[in-house]
Amino acid sequence: KRPAGAPDKALAQKVTKVGVIGAGLMASQFALLFVRRLQVPVVITDLDQGRVDKGLAYIAEEIGALEAKGRIGSDEANRLRALVSGTTDKADFSDCDWVIEAVFEDLAVKQQVFAEVEKHVSPTTILATNTSSLSVEQIGEKLEHPERVVGFHFFNPVAVMPLLEIVKAPATNDATLATAFATAAKLRKSAVLTADAPGFVVNRLLAKVMGEAARAVDEGTPVPVVERALAPIGLPMGPFELIDLVGWAVAAHVQDTMVSKFPERFYASENMHALSKLAQVVEKNKAGKVTDFTKEAKK
Ligand code: CAA
């Protein structure tokens, strides 16, 4: 059955090579998914070789884990390993027909990254953005061919979460949208088409939950109590544990975007930024996660 809003799948373009910009955790997770489900070459890039190597190491580790669990055989594991490569030169994207970015959540950075890619790829190469709350229209507006830009938003952990938000900007053409839906189906994700509005659907709702959880803390309820209070209503994890999972910088960014777009509807918590700083200290000291300090909440 054709998903709501998806164009005729006959319009979908072939995806024979994928370029991934950003080799952070989210990008590495979906790079692995692309290679596993599409079985095409996947090349990842980042600002420097160190970051690229970190992404490649994550992917190699996860392929090893799939093999160890018996989810894939050793032939398949070797095939996947051979299909993944890294580069610091976007010219290596020249034969990609699908490029997806997950770089820092900053509009100017994303615009600049796509402008640079556009110099190297064909005019019909799809440029997908994994932005969690920025405008897809604005990300593409400075390009020569904005009609091939589409939002393609994964959720953490990518391997497990079934949802994918596909975002159509006013300029996005049907071939691009059809390719996005066809690709989502190959990745075995359940795709929904959302409006190009701040936070799309999921982050709009999550930002409310996280903002109100932060407000409860600001009002004097301790973090572990907020976590414990929410567990019995069926959330798979408390709001702060979820922020640990998606990353404090990302969560604080989503919150800031929502507050700047809808100041009367969203809540900016100083505590959230303070906890975001604590998360950086925790990460730097390899001391686990912020919510390790709130383990009591789970007892
Ligand atoms: N990476 C890869 N795989 C993971 C994983 C991770 N971080 N965490 C868990 N898994 C896998 C496990 O390996 C396991 O796989 P197998 O069955 O193959 O062994 C499977 O998931 C289940 O693991 P657990 O038994 O440990 O999982 P659980 O029952 O405790 O559930 C969870 C873990 C799926 C993360 C669950 O707690 C959950 O659904 N949490 C909510 C996640 C969520 O809401 N994500 C959306 C965040 S918003 C976002 O990402 C968007 C944004 O733009 C900020």
Q: How far is the CA of 225 from the centre of ligand 1 (A)?
A: 22
Q: Name the token pair of 85.
A: 């490569």
State the architecture of 202-298 in CATH terms: Orthogonal Bundle (1.10)
List the residue whose alpha carbon is closest to atom 24 of ligand 1.
Answer: 160
Q: Whats the size of the chain, residue-wise? A: 299
List the residue whose alpha carbon is closest to atom 20 of ligand 1.
Answer: 160
Q: Is 206 in the pocket of ligand 1 (CB under 6 A)?
A: yes
Please list the residues that pair with 20 across neighbouring strands.
44, 100
What top-level class would CATH report for the domain 9-194? Answer: alpha beta
Q: How far is the CA of 25 from the centre of ligand 1 (A)?
A: 14
List the residue whose alpha carbon is closest to atom 48 of ligand 1.
Answer: 155
Q: Is 242 in the pocket of ligand 1 (CB under 6 A)?
A: yes
The Cα 194–Cα 155 span in angstroms is 15
SS3 for 116? helix
List the residue whose alpha carbon is closest to atom 28 of ligand 1.
Answer: 236
Q: Is 10 in the pocket of ligand 1 (CB under 6 A)?
A: no
Per-residue pLDDT at 233 = 83
The Cα 22–Cα 68 span in angstroms is 27
Q: Is 132 in the pocket of ligand 1 (CB under 6 A)?
A: yes
Q: What is the ipTM of this complex?
A: 0.94
Domain spans of the chain, in order of start: 9-194, 202-298
Q: Is 155 in the pocket of ligand 1 (CB under 6 A)?
A: yes
Q: What is the pLDDT along the chain (299 residues), one digit of tens a residue?
A: 788 889 999 999 999 999 999 999 999 999 999 999 999 999 999 999 999 999 999 999 999 999 999 999 999 999 999 999 999 999 999 999 999 999 988 999 999 999 999 999 999 999 999 999 899 999 999 999 999 999 999 999 999 999 999 999 999 999 999 999 999 999 999 999 999 999 999 999 999 998 898 888 889 888 888 888 887 787 888 888 888 888 877 888 888 899 999 999 998 887 766 666 666 666 665 556 656 654 544 44
The Cα 122–Cα 45 span in angstroms is 18
Pair 124, 13: CB distance under 8 Å: yes
The Cα 115–Cα 140 span in angstroms is 9
Q: How far is the CA of 11 from the centre of ligand 1 (A)?
A: 34
Q: How many other CB atoms are there within 10 angstroms of residue 194's CB atom?
A: 19
Check residue 24 and give left, alpha or beta (phi > 0: left; psi -120 to 50: alpha). beta
pTM: 0.92
